[in-house]
Amino acid sequence: MPKTLFQKIIDREIPAKIEHEDEHCIVIHDIQPQAPVHLLIIPKTVIPRVEAATTADQAVLGHLFLTAGLLAKKLQLANGFRLVVNNGPDASETVPHLHVHLLAKRQLTWPPG
C-alpha cells in the first residue's frame, strides 16, 4: 500500500510544523486550522480508522489521549479544548490514518456541524 500523508510527514518526506514527537506519536499543526489551536495527534503505527483498531492498539490509543492532556497543559488550555476523531467519509475523514484533532482557543458550539 502507498504511504499515507501522515506516514510521509513522520518519515520527513513532507514538511510539517511539529509541536511534539515521541516514540509513539507525532503532533503537528493542521494546515487548515478550524480554531486558533488545531493540532493533529497522529500515531506512528498506522491504524486506518477507529473501527479497524484492535486490542493490540489499546496502548497507543491511550497514549494519544494522554498526549492531548500534556499538550493542553503545555499550551495553557485550561479554559477548554475539544478532541475529535473522524471515522469514514460521512465524518469528513480525509486521511485513512487514525488521528485525533485537538481544537481550542475559541468557543466551540454543540452539537458540532
Predicted local confidence at residue 111, as pLDDT: 87
Predicted local confidence at residue 12, as pLDDT: 97
> CB–CB of 60/52 below 8 Å?
no
pLDDT of residue 113 exceeding 70, the answer is no
Give me the residue label for grid cell 506519536. 25
SS3 88: coil
Q: What average pLDDT does this structure show over 80-94?
A: 93
Classify 5-104 by CATH class: alpha beta
Q: What average pLDDT does this structure show over 51-69?
A: 97
Q: What average pLDDT does this structure show over 19-30?
A: 98
Distance CA(6)–CA(8), nearest Å, equals 5
Q: What average pLDDT does this structure show over 37-48?
A: 97
Which positions are catalytic?
A: 99
Proportion of the chain above pLDDT 70, given as a percent: 99
